[in-house]
Homo-oligomer: A and B are copies of this chain.
Amino acid sequence: MMDDFPWTGSEKQVARKAFNYAYHSECRKIIDTAKSMIANASAPQDVWEVHDYLTQERRETDEKYRYRYSTLILVFAKLIHEGWLTENDLDGLQTDKLEAIRKYLRFWST
C-alpha cells in the first residue's frame, strides 16, 4: 500500500520526531521485558527463551520501523493502533494525511 502525499519540510520534522519517539518507546518496552525475563532466568533454556524473544522482536521492529514517505501514513496508523503514538504526536501534519490515518484506524476498528 503506497501513498503519494507530498510532505513539507516541517511535516517531515514532525514525522521523524514521532517515528523516533515510537521506536524508542517500543524498544524501551522490549528492554524492560528482556530485563524481567533474564532476572528470572536460571536454567540454560531460560536464556535461550530470552534470545528467541529478542530475535522475534528484532524481526518485527525491523519490519515495522521503515522510514519511507511512501508508506509512512500506514506506519503511523499502525503505531497509533498499537498505542505507541497518539494523534497528538502527529500535530503539525496536514489534514489530508491525518484523514488518511484515521481512515485506516476506522477500518481496523470495525
Listed in ascending order, the chain A residues whose CB lies under 8 Å from chain B are 23-24, 27-28, 30-31, 34-35, 38-39, 41-44, 46-48, 50-51, 54-55, 58
Contacts and interface: CB of A to CB of B under 8 A. Distances in A.
Chain A contact surface mostly: helix
Nearest to A23: B44
B48 A51 contact: no
Contacts of A24: 43-44
A54 B58 contact: no
How many copies of this chain does the complex contain?
A: 2
Contacts of A48: 54, 58
Given A44-B24, A51-B51, A34 B30 contact: no
A106 B14 CA distance: 65
Nearest to A41: B31
A35 B39 contact: yes
Contacts of A28: 42
29 contacts: A23-B44, A24-B43, A24-B44, A27-B43, A27-B44, A28-B42, A30-B47, A31-B38, A31-B41, A31-B42, A31-B46, A31-B47, A34-B38, A34-B47, A34-B50, A35-B35, A35-B38, A35-B39, A35-B41, A38-B38, A47-B54, A48-B54, A48-B58, A50-B54, A51-B54, A51-B55, A51-B58, A54-B54, A55-B55
